[in-house]
């Protein structure tokens, strides 16, 4: 009561209100997790018809790239021990070489080989002990019931990556025309995220996959 | 030049008194649009990481399934279990559940139902594979293995 001097400013200072609101806003922005439905999309094979016997598979062993995983999370690749989870990234190169081997291309797949860019041709070893052509080549992965899901996903991821890299590199020049900001290393990523609702990009997608089907076989565990 | 400079005594400040209101509007927008998770997840979810991710086009076709070790190990044990909606489910009930989920969709979309499998990295392939067999049986063949983007 004695202090009668400051009668002037009775208003609350509202200047920092914006700052408080900003703080709250940032809090909500940070804590909001937008539900992300992302992952590896697979289409399961149809249920076998019980009335029909399973089809005989007489594929040449060299056309099958066998990957087995045991319950100790160790891999057996092409009948040789390959290591565990930390060695999975090495699979990508091996799978690419296997698919692009072109050991014995027929009339149908020879044009595919000729249409490949030189960077992919360079990866073709033409070894008689590996796959005849990409159409015949099958990558087979079989896990054990005791294999961890983590390893399973890691292997599937590498297999998908190998194919995506092949596709991306195959139409690399066209992709770089559409996305001039990107460089050579992103091709697989661009290919994977192609917007297929755009007819031109859809055509490009089909062009990349023509003659090189994504033959990944995931066997049921015993 | 000085011809055009007429009255220079107007204030140059932008009025900022409405700024808090604008920010509050943004704040309310985010508060309202934030959807809190509607199901409580009863299993551990340490989602594995991968690089080759794909986004789903149509969210309405997606149904979630969670597999992992129960969080409440005293009550449910340590073996991985399957959770859908709010309850645990036996493998043998997957077909029934998928049929129920399919009934929620319109008739033309029923075969395009996508099962979003959120599986804990420590779960074993046995249970995952059993679920897959049942999904084949139920003719729900589109499966998304939910993963997180690996940052290198």
Are A192 and B30 in contact (CB < 8 Å)?
no
Structure tokens that stand for A56 in this block? 């005989």
**Residue B35, pLDDT score:** 67
CB atoms within 10 A of CB A53: 8
Are A153 and B30 in contact (CB < 8 Å)?
no
A and B: number of Cβ contacts within 8 A: 144
Q: Which residues of B touch A193 (CB under 8 A)?
A: 55
Helix axes A149-170, A199-209, angle to 10 degrees: 100
DSSP conformation class of B14: P
Burial class (CB in 10 A: 0-12, 13-18, 19+), B54: middle
**Chain B nearest C-alpha distance from A222 (Å):** 9
Q: Which residues of B touch A15 (CB under 8 A)?
A: 16
Q: How many helices (H) and strands (E) does chain B have?
A: 4, 8
Structure tokens that stand for A30 in this block? 């940070």
Mutate to test the interface with A, among B124, B136, B139 (most CBs of A within 10 A): B124
Residue A156 has pLDDT above 70, yes or no: yes
Read off the pLDDT of residues A17-74 as tens digits, 9 standing for 90 and up.
778 878 888 887 777 766 667 888 888 888 877 777 777 667 777 888 889 998 888 8
Read off the pLDDT of residues A113-131 as tens digits, 9 standing for 90 and up.
888 888 888 888 888 888 8
**Residue B96, pLDDT score:** 92
Closest to A42 (Cβ–Cβ): which among B23, B121, B145? B145
Q: How far apart are CA B30 and CA B34, in angstroms?
A: 6
Instruction: Specify the residue for token string 């770089």.
Output: A176
Can you tell me whether residue A98 is helix, strand or coil? helix
Mutate to test the interface with B, among A18, A149, A205 (most CBs of B within 10 A): A149
DSSP conformation class of A114: H
Q: How far apart are CA A124 and CA A211, in angstroms?
A: 15
In this structure, are residues A18 and B16 in contact, taking their beta carbons and an 8 Å threshold? yes
**Residue A125, pLDDT score:** 80
As a residue count, chain A comes to 222
Residue A6 has pLDDT above 60, yes or no: no
**Chain A nearest C-alpha distance from B84 (Å):** 16
Ordered per-residue pLDDT tens for chain B, 152 residues:
556 666 566 777 777 778 778 888 888 887 777 766 667 788 888 888 888 888 877 778 888 899 999 988 888 888 888 998 888 988 889 999 999 999 988 888 888 888 989 999 888 889 999 999 899 888 888 899 988 888 76
A67 contact B CB<8A: no
**Residue B97, pLDDT score:** 92
Q: Which residues of B touch A16 (CB under 8 A)?
A: none
**Chain A nearest C-alpha distance from B117 (Å):** 9
Q: From edge to edge, which strands make up the β-sheet containing A38-43?
A: B54-55, A38-43, B142-146, B114-119, B62-68, B81-84, B87-89
Are A44 and B143 in contact (CB < 8 Å)?
yes
Can you tell me whether residue B58 is helix, strand or coil? coil
Q: Which residues of B touch A17 (CB under 8 A)?
A: 20
**Residue A179, pLDDT score:** 81
Q: Which residues of B touch A148 (CB under 8 A)?
A: 121-125
Are B27 and A45 in contact (CB < 8 Å)?
no
Pick from A5-14, A156-165, A206-215 the range whose average pLDDT is largest.
Answer: A156-165
For the segment A138-163, the average pLDDT, to the nearest whole number, is 90
Report the C-alpha dihedral over residues B100, B103, B109, B114, rounded to 10 degrees. -20
Closest to B52 (Cβ–Cβ): which among A46, A150, A161? A161
Q: Which residue has the higher pLDDT, A149 or A184?
A: A149
Are A25 and B135 in contact (CB < 8 Å)?
no
**Residue A3, pLDDT score:** 54
Closest to B136 (Cβ–Cβ): which among A29, A47, A192? A47
> Please, which residues bridge with residue B49 across strands?
B148
For the segment A8-15, the average pLDDT, to the nearest whole number, is 69
**Residue A5, pLDDT score:** 54
**Chain B nearest C-alpha distance from A85 (Å):** 12
In this structure, are residues A175 and A117 in contact, taking their beta carbons and an 8 Å threshold? no
């Amino acid at each position: 009561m004695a202090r009668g001097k400051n009668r002037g400013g009775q208003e609350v200072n509202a200047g920092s209100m914006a700052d408080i609101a900003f703080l709250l806003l940032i809090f909500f922005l940070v804590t909001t997790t937008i539900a992300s439905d992302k992952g590896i999309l697979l289409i399961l094979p149809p249920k076998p018809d019980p009335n029909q016997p399973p089809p005989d598979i007489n594929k040449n062993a060299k056309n099958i790239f066998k990957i087995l995983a045991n319950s100790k999370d160790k891999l057996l690749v092409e009948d040789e021990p390959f290591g565990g989870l930390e060695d999975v990234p090495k699979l990508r190169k091996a799978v690419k070489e296997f698919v692009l081997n072109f050991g014995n291309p027929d009339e149908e797949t020879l044009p595919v080989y000729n249409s490949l860019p030189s960077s992919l041709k360079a990866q073709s070893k033409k070894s008689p002990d590996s796959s005849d052509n990409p159409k015949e080549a099958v990558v087979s992965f079989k896990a054990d019931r005791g294999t961890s899901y983590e390893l399973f996903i890691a292997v599937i991821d590498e297999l998908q990556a190998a194919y995506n890299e092949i596709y991306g590199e195959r139409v690399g020049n066209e992709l770089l025309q559409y996305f001039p900001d990107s460089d050579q290393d992103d091709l697989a990523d661009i290919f994977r995220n192609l917007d297929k609702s755009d007819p031109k990009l859809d055509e490009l997608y089909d062009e990349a996959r023509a003659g090189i089907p994504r033959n990944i076989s995931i066997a049921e565990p015993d | 030049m000085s011809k055009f400079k007429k009255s220079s005594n107007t204030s140059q400040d932008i009025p900022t008194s409405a700024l808090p209101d604008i920010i509050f509007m943004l704040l309310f927008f985010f508060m309202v649009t934030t959807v809190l998770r509607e199901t409580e997840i009863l299993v551990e979810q340490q989602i594995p990481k991968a690089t080759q991710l794909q986004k789903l086009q149509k969210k309405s076709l997606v149904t979630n399934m969670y597999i992992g070790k129960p969080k409440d190990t005293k009550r449910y044990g340590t073996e991985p279990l399957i959770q859908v909606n709010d309850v645990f489910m036996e493998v043998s009930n997957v077909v029934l559940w998928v049929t129920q989920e399919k009934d929620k969709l319109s008739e033309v979309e029923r075969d395009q139902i996508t099962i979003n499998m959120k599986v804990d990295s420590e779960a074993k392939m046995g249970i995952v594979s059993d679920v897959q067999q049942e999904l084949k049986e139920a003719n729900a063949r589109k499966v998304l293995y939910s993963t997180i983007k690996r940052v290198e």
